[in-house]
Chains A and B, each alone.
Chain A
Amino acid sequence: MTGRIIAGLAALAALAALVAVPWWVPGDYYISIASQILIYAVFALGVDVLIGYAGLVSLGHAGLFGLASYAVAVALAGGSAQFGAILLALAVTLAGTAIFAALSLRATGIGFIMITLAMGQIMWGLAYRWFDLTNGDNGVNVAARPMPFGFDLEVASNFYFATLVVFLLALLIAWVFVHSPFGASLKGTRDQPRRMTALGYHVWMIRFCACLFSGLLTAIAGILFVYYTKFISPQSLALTSSAEVVLMVISGGSGTLLGPVVGAALVVIVKNVASAYIERWNMLLGAIFVAIVLFMPEGLVPGSARLGRFILRQLRGAPAKAAKP
């Protein structure tokens, strides 16, 4: 019971800290970094649905992320309204995810990884080569962010609040999803696909639906991202982007909802903040990943929880042991 109260208080404190970011963070630049963390957190949540809950590692999700970004940018460049561009991006990305899933779910394990990698590379190639649509290497600019209810998103703190609302909604639907009967079905297909089939589950369809949900979260992140940078280029679809988000999930802790958020924060902070002080920030990130794999192979969030329980037990256990003669 006390565990629940502590968890509830911690969640409230975290929420308060998140809402207060524009006041305690020095300057617009760092507020933007906070927005970036939340955007990647949504992306990582989407990838975690597959890695952590379906047991399927995708190395092509940057292709879907980029698809959503390009859909918004191209639609806006073609004169679409903001709301229409967002809806179009969601629809296009979900359709793209359906094709992506139908092809890659022919395999699991390494086979799934390789097919998703290939699909991601195809998306990157299309962005790079389909010049008429994507402007190739030059990318596509987005002229302006939307103004929902007259709320000016060009202001860094306003954009942050909008991102925070979307992030909290994404976290909520992910929470509902993993605790639902469907979430239990999905975890079952991760652990014992053969048994699940014998129990009457349609394993392929369950995985397909999980891919669609993952694609939805990825699309939301991609849409936020293109409004954040107001620019999209093939670089965002590259294999390194796909690998980066997989690393976020694994370093934070796959199969948890908090893990991807922590992993996103870690990567974005090292990339943007530490890189101001250390030229070889990539090496720093690499060293951090190695340390995580060595000391907390299950990821930062489950690893810290384990460490916390251990310390608590030591604190409680120590006096009892000392009392014994």
Chain B
Amino acid sequence: MTALTISGLEKSFGGLRVTRGVDLAVEPGERRLIIGPNGAGKTTLFNLIAGELRADGGSVALFGQELTRLPSRRRAHLGLSRTYQIITLFPRDTLLRNVMLSLLGLSRMRWNPLRRLEGQRHLMAAAEQALGRVGLAHLALRPLSETSYGERRRVEIAMALAQNPKVLLLDEPFAGLSVDERRDVRKLLAGIPRDVTIVMIEHDMDVALDFAERITVMHFGEIVVEGTRAEIVADPRIKEIYFGE
């Protein structure tokens, strides 16, 4: 069974078709890279998969379960997590609180108005562990507003990983990072176990190409070509899209 199956996905904003009959099948444990020039519809595709946008047509399924009609929050409960290209965190809270909110999202405890959040030791321990996975355990009690951009990128990933997703969508996890930070994040992503299927959007070819087994190239809302790294690099259409020959 495929981890993520997309067929005939359609989305238009007014007269602009940003997703044109996209078909995609990602195997369990696979690392899939989606590349394409700006405006190719990559983030829109993520928003359709995660349910933040409603598709006009087509379907999305997670391990055989139909997601197309489910609201975004239900998809999270079924094992779909994502990170954002534009960092979307809780700036007033500490890193620990940020990750705790992520854990709380999947727990029934989130509705409890009577207990103290600070008293939920298991949540706190799990949040600390998730921060440890991205190497930020030592900053757990620091307010997010006092951390660097690179650290926030890693908090994004920690929040997604904390939910133990079956499928993880990473939207440009290397965007805006320095060379050193890139290396750290690359190591971190390489350490994610294979029971997590990863679909990643990335512009940085050097980092991204050796991360993924299969690569999907999008252009003007369509999938242009899909294949292994060698196949993609050799494909003449890629040069055309990126260099406009």
Contact = CB atoms under 8 A, between A and B. Distances in A.
A184 B104 contact: yes
Contacts of A209: 111, 113
B52 A182 contact: no
Contact of B76 (A181, A182, A183, A199): A199
Interface string A188-225: 10011011111111110000010001000000000000
A199 B100 CA distance: 11
A187 B71 CA distance: 21
B101 A188 contact: yes
A179 interface: yes
Interface residue range, chain A: 20 to 34
Interface in B78-115: 81-82, 84, 88-92, 97, 100-102, 104-107, 109-115
Nearest to A188: B101
Main secondary structure of the interface of A (DSSP, over half): helix
Given A180-B114, A181-B112, A185-B110, A194 B88 contact: yes
B34 interface: no
A182 B111 contact: yes
B137 interface: no
B90 A201 contact: no
A177 interface: yes
Contact of A188 (B82, B84, B90): B90
Contacts of B90: 187-188, 191-192, 195
Given A197-B72, A197-B73, A181 B104 contact: yes
Given A181-B104, A181-B115, A200 B89 contact: no
Given A191-B90, A200-B106, A176 B113 contact: yes
B121 interface: no
B29 to A, nearest CB: 23
Given A199-B76, A200-B106, A201-B105, A194 B113 contact: no
Contacts, number: 91
A192 B84 CA distance: 12
B206 interface: no
A200 B77 contact: yes
A201 B88 contact: no
Interface of B: 50, 52, 71-74, 76-77, 81-82, 84, 88-92, 97, 100-102, 104-107, 109-118, 120, 159, 163
A193 to B, nearest CB: 10
A179 B113 CA distance: 8
Contacts of A202: 73
Nearest to B110: A185
Given A180-B115, A184-B100, 12 more contacts: A181-B107, A181-B110, A181-B115, A182-B110, A184-B110, A192-B89, A197-B73, A199-B106, A199-B159, A200-B73, A200-B105, A201-B73
Contacts of A183: 113, 117
Contacts of B100: 184
A184 B105 CA distance: 10
A192 B88 contact: yes
Given A179-B117, A181-B104, A201 B110 contact: yes
B102 A176 contact: no
Contacts of A191: 90-92
Given A199-B76, A199-B101, A199-B102, A181 B109 contact: yes
Q: Which of A188, A195, A213 has the most CB of B within 10 A?
A: A195
A67 to B, nearest CB: 23
